[in-house]
Amino acid sequence: MTDRLTNLKFFIRTFGCQMNESDSERIAGILRQAGAVKADRAEEGDILIVNTCAVRNKSEEKLYSYLGRLSRLKREKPVQVGVTGCVAQLRGSELLKKKFDIDFILGPDTYGQLPHIIKKGLAEKYISTSWSKDWQETPPDLILRESSVSAYVTIMEGCNNFCAYCIVPFTRGREKCRPLRSVLAEVSILADRGYKEIQLLGQNVNSYRDPDSGRGFAELLEEVSSIDGIAWVRFLTSHPKNFGLEIGEVMARTKKICRQLHLPLQSGSTAILKKMKRGYTKDDYLDKVAWLRQLMPEISLSTDIIVGFPGESAKDFKETLDVMESVRFANIFSFRYSPRPLTEASALKDDVPFEIKTQRLEEAQRLQRKIQIENHRLQVGRVMPVLCLGKGKKTPQLYAGRNEGYQVVNFHSEKDCREKFVDVRITSCGPYSLSGERIDSR
């Protein structure tokens, strides 16, 4: 073996979305296969990798402050520092012009090269941000997963939508779909290994097409759900314009698909949605939600909101609040608009002052907090299945998990129930989580 990394320890810090978390598990698996061992802290590592996000300016800044820390570490001992992910793809060699000491820069399509370039010792800086046009398969057993009960399975990567504000099509490239047969093979392996929950990942999963047969996302969902052993199937992200009737219908008739959907709204103003190039109106969105709730009254919906997009008036923003009031999301992720290089919107005048953006963000978050408290109160007294994902550090009998709606549930249990399904009676709540007692011993 030429690329053995025996006796080396690696540490990966991940920023960004679930796709990046999943990629970090892939990177970890590639390094493990080459003989390196995972370290728990950066201080213990010989190979330090930052897997980065470029979606907002703040995400990028997080990288720079973290690189400052790694550069200090590098002065104390001979480590190799690598930048991977979306900022690596976006900035490439520009990163070397900054004051940080970086050894290699790899874009999301190039992780297979890792053992080779680390082994080479990198007398010269190594940069690769090339794209491959086709899907690149990672053998499922290679991936070093964080959880042994809930697994990410990537079904497509990249995006063809070019929403006006979004950098993702430039960092992840055009849509590439994974063959259905390899998705099913991976899920079957995971089921055999005892995994209970599968989260299907893609920047725009609704536009999935099997490259071999042309079958779409609804068919993929149905097939994945038919695999024995898997109890819960989730997926993200859905684009409202591509979320077709057949997908909702499969969800409604398939028990294993969680009654939960992340459906990014971005703005409640049709005029702003048009400027964002989202391809739907406020009414289209509300109609889709009404239809989904008719099909699945218990469905839990979450969303993303951008405040302060160029040209957003107080009236436009009020429409976003109106949609939030009317849909009553279980959860939102809200952001101040951040102009990003290469995007269409970056050519627009960013005419909503930062203070107004901040005010709007706070107002949206205040409203959402109130909605969540009200939503959560309705759940007190109910009994629900919870997939236990972890254990409290301080209180030994305190566990944490998620319910079908993807809400965080903290609960007491006398017996260890990590990585199991348990029934929990909700006894109290806060704005961001539910609390309760385990009531069964299944």
User: Contact positions toward ligand SF4, by CB under 6 A?
Assistant: 159, 161-163, 166, 168-169, 203-204, 239
Question: Which of positions 144-203 make contact with ligand F3S (CB under 6 A)?
Answer: 167-168, 171-172
Query: Residue 54 interacts with ligand F3S (CB under 6 A)?
Result: yes
Query: Residue 266 interacts with ligand SAH (CB under 6 A)?
Result: yes
* Min dist. Cβ of residue 236 to ligand SAH (A): 8
Query: Residue 152 interacts with ligand SAH (CB under 6 A)?
Result: no
Stretch of residues binding ligand F3S (CB under 6 A), selected from 14-22, 233-241, 250-258, 407-415 = 14-22
| Spatial distance between the Cα atoms of 350 and 78, rounded to a whole number of angstroms | 44
**Which strands form 150-154's sheet, in the order they lie side by side?**
150-154, 197-201, 232-236
**Residue 378 burial (CB count, 10 A):** 10
Binding map of ligand SAH across residues 207-246, x = CB under 6 A, - = no contact: ------------------------------x-x-------
CA 299 to chain centre: 20
Partner from ligand SF4, ligand F3S, ligand SAH, none contacting 191, C-beta within 5 to 8 A by type: none
Question: Which of positions 280-319 make contact with ligand SAH (CB under 6 A)?
Answer: 304, 306
Query: Residue 205 interacts with ligand F3S (CB under 6 A)?
Result: no
Partner from ligand SF4, ligand F3S, ligand SAH, none contacting 82, C-beta within 5 to 8 A by type: none
| Spatial distance between the Cα atoms of 7 and 73, rounded to a whole number of angstroms | 19
> Of 51 and 150, which CB lies nearer to ligand F3S in the complex structure?
51
Binds ligand SAH (CB under 6 A): choice among 165, 208, 217, 285: 165
What secondary structure does DSSP assign to 183-245, as a single string? HHHHHHHHHHTT--EEEEE-TTGGG-B-TTT--BHHHHHHHHHTSTT--EEEEE---GGG--H
Give yes or no for a contact between 216 and 206, defined as CB atoms under 8 angstroms apart.
no
| Spatial distance between the Cα atoms of 85 and 140, rounded to a whole number of angstroms | 20
Structure tokens at 137: 């398969």
Binds ligand F3S (CB under 6 A): choice among 5, 28, 31, 53: 53
Residues, the chain: 442
Give yes or no for a contact between 147 and 63, defined as CB atoms under 8 angstroms apart.
no
Amino acid, single-letter form, for residue 315: K
| Spatial distance between the Cα atoms of 371 and 356, rounded to a whole number of angstroms | 23
Q: For binding to ligand F3S (CB under 6 A), which residues are involved?
A: 16-17, 19-20, 53-55, 85-86, 167-168, 171-172
Q: For binding to ligand SAH (CB under 6 A), which residues are involved?
A: 55-56, 165-166, 168, 203-204, 237, 239, 264, 266, 304, 306, 335, 337-338, 340
